[in-house]
Structure 1
């Protein structure tokens, strides 16, 4: 499946303190011409194979601010240009505040996936996820989540972990269980694009040992608390670890290749039609060396053209070096594959480096904890299992 991240606007109706998206007060939106060029170019190119499915992830600022008529037009244009009848999946990542019955009817009728951005209980959520007036958004967000549920629409949660969150694993788990979220994924507060500060540290070589210890303790306690509820709520990071480690056990030569470091594993389309690849967080970044990570534009380039553009080849060269450096320096490379390259760039301005704060926490520290948990219950985890057995 191809993953196309579409950013119809950078504008957001709230002002989260850790948001990486630049120009969140800019209400400029993607035009119909840009949409038309996107869909005609995509569905009419060899980039999308005849029987291949494609997921459009509507993201960036707040995707709902462009309004329902915009998305009705999206579906009409896809119907017009999808001549080969490729399977199309739509996903929205939203703060939820603009939801109403019309949106719910649309989501239900069109069978779209909905991800809900919420940082746990009110006393944590309202620290960072605030309106432009500085007031917390939790109560209204929960009202909108209940509206989704009353309309029979299931939505997983996306929660950003700040240093303050690490003190409350029990409260965070209880919140997501009690409110019947089917799943939760954790991001860490990152130095990325427009966000230049983080409570977890400003770069991996400066991260304080106390942060590593606190994150380790959080993961360990959260895992123990979660186990009795593992059939009720999925934790993305735990499931991810179980999936890749199981593949490694079955095949010692297995190596993960995450979408974000694959050539065109993810293609991001900005509101002006600019195209980028690898991590969506590169969209809107400033870099002379990488031409602001723009490798083409739907108004002048075909999807076939961008794979040979000078801008893409420059980024690809350093992305390949990043993966090589990760492989040569990290025991977890087979299970990770060089994830979080965008975090490396924003922390160090050097895409080729092998480690970032996100990788140190969400890969190395988290995997250490889970391997210890499994070892304590299964002896040697699985006979012959070695995370670096293919090297």
Structure 2
């Protein structure tokens, strides 16, 4: 019997519409202006809270296309509705991933009032950002994005940025860091331009990519630490607790657990595992959909998931990873959607994506740990955890 879900993340697509047109965007329906109904939001969270499957903290990510094209008033109503239904035992944290072009004081007021997490897509200085992040008329979006970021800073709203690395920016770790520091950005995440949906990245298939990315991340991380002005580098800081954790505690991967990550589009259609699957078509997997929250209960959606070819093949892929990959104890089976996009099947194993997001950070952290551990000046306190259960000798270098 499969354990009941522990729903830790709910990705809600308020609309598929996006007000800009990035050249690397894979979303198939980004001109559709349909907006999720308040009744669908109510029904979704009624089902989540009634199920008893909630983790003590649920992160609700409003994401894809551009969530800020939906007015502030919509979110005030939705947040208040969710709060009224929320059990006392569950904490709800709202978060937005936005291109930043629409942020103003009114949005900042909402973010502060509700303690909203904010991620802004920013690819670096103008010459890098405007290469791919363009308006629908083909113009660069840098000025509007930076204006949004400066509004966040002026209104004391905490935020991070996500930068997509291209051929050019992979060679510019110092230049990127200088730019972030100039703009007061101290929480930074990186994505490498990848193949998703209809977008095929030539960069992702380059034979030297792992070496180039490792050189970039090593340099950026070390420079950021020396600067003393960067609070968070996602690729390193999220990997650390996965490596340095108590013996016997597995690393959780919500991308392979049924309904642990619950994804809902603007029509109420539900998927799990990866939000990128929403909107994609595949008859063998019923378009990756598990039901519609407007018409099915969460229990019915879970039952459909457990009986699906989608879950069967994702599980087979996780099992294959566990048998073949030295990094399995760090990632727990990879990202199913990237297996699909890169290898053509959920049952596969290693992808370029997992090489970059799991293997490279692991190698860099263990490299730094070994260097510190062998330093004559280093005194290791007794309560400093070793990198168990992933030892240096267990990890392919």
Normalised TM-score (structure 2) = 0.89
Aligned-residue Cα RMSD (Å) equals 2.3
Task: Return the offset for 1:166.
Answer: 0.7
Provide the residue aligned with 1:96 in structure 2: 100
Equivalent of residue 218 in structure 2, options 217, 220, 223: 220
Q: Which residue of 1 aligns with 2:238?
A: 240
In structure 2, what is the Cα distance between the partners aligned to 1:83 and 1:245? 33
Which residue in the other structure is 2:10 paired with? 4
> What SS does the corresponding residue of 2:333 show, helix, strand or coil?
coil
Counterpart residue number, 1:124: 128
Alpha-carbon distance change, 177 to 113 in structure 1, aligned in 2, over 3 angstroms:
same
In the alignment, which of 383, 387, 391 is matched to residue 386 of structure 1? 391
Kept in 2: contact 1:158–1:184 (CA 8 A): yes
Match of 2:35 in 1: 29
1:329 paired to 2:324: yes
Contact 1:47–1:304, Cα closer than 8 Å, also in 2: no
Q: Which whole-Å deviations, capped at 9, do the CAs of 1:163-190 have from their partners, x for residues lacking one?
A: 2211111111112222222311111212
Q: What is the alpha-carbon distance in structure 1 between the residues aligned to residue 206 and residue 104 of structure 2?
A: 44
Q: Distance in 1 between matches of 2:46 and 2:328?
A: 38
More deviation, 294-303/373-382 = 373-382
Distance 1:83 1:365, change over 3 A: closer
CA contact under 8 A between 1:290 and 1:311: conserved in structure 2? no
SS at match of 2:54: coil
| SS of equivalent to 1:53 | strand
CA contact (8 A) 2:281 2:287 kept: yes
SS in 2 for 1:259: coil
Q: 1:227: how far off?
A: 2.3
Confirm whether residue 20 of structure 1 aligns to residue 23 of structure 2: no
1:291 equivalent to 2:286? Answer yes
Whole-angstrom distance in 2 between the partners of 1:187 and 1:227: 20
Distance change (3 Å), C-alpha of 1:48 and 1:212: closer
Q: Distance in 2 between matches of 1:86 and 1:255?
A: 23
Aligned with residue 43 of structure 1, among 39, 49, 61: 49
Q: In the alignment, which residue of structure 2 is the partner of 1:204?
A: none
Determine the structure 1 residue equivalent to 2:275. 280
Deviation at 1:44, TM superposition (A): 2.7
CA offset at residue 238 of structure 1? Answer: 0.8
Separation in structure 1 between the aligned mates of residue 133 and residue 48 of structure 2, nearest angstrom: 35
Structure 1 unmatched ranges of 5 or more? 202-206
Q: Give the conservation status (yes or no) of the 8 Å contact 1:118–1:125.
A: yes
Question: How far is the alpha carbon of 1:136 from its aligned partner?
Answer: 0.9
Cα-to-partner distance string for 1:200-245 (whole Å, 9 max, x where unaligned): 23xxxxx332223322221222222222135633101111222222
Tell me which moved more, 281-290 or 268-277. Answer: 281-290
Q: Distance in 1 between matches of 2:387 and 2:253?
A: 26
Deviation at 1:326, TM superposition (A): 1.0
Length-normalised TM-score, structure 1: 0.90
SS at match of 1:91: strand
For the structure 1 residues 104 and 45, does the alpha-carbon distance in structure 2 shift closer, same or farther, using more than 3 Å as the test?
same
Give the corresponding residue for 1:348: 343
For residues 299-345 of structure 1, what are the alpha-carbon distances to aligned partners after superposition, in whole Å with 9 as ceiling and x for unaligned?
Answer: 11111111111675322211111111111111111111122221111
Residue 153 of structure 1, aligned match among 144, 157, 163? 157
Q: How many residues align?
A: 379
Q: Unaligned regions of 5+ residues in structure 2, if any?
A: 1-6, 376-384
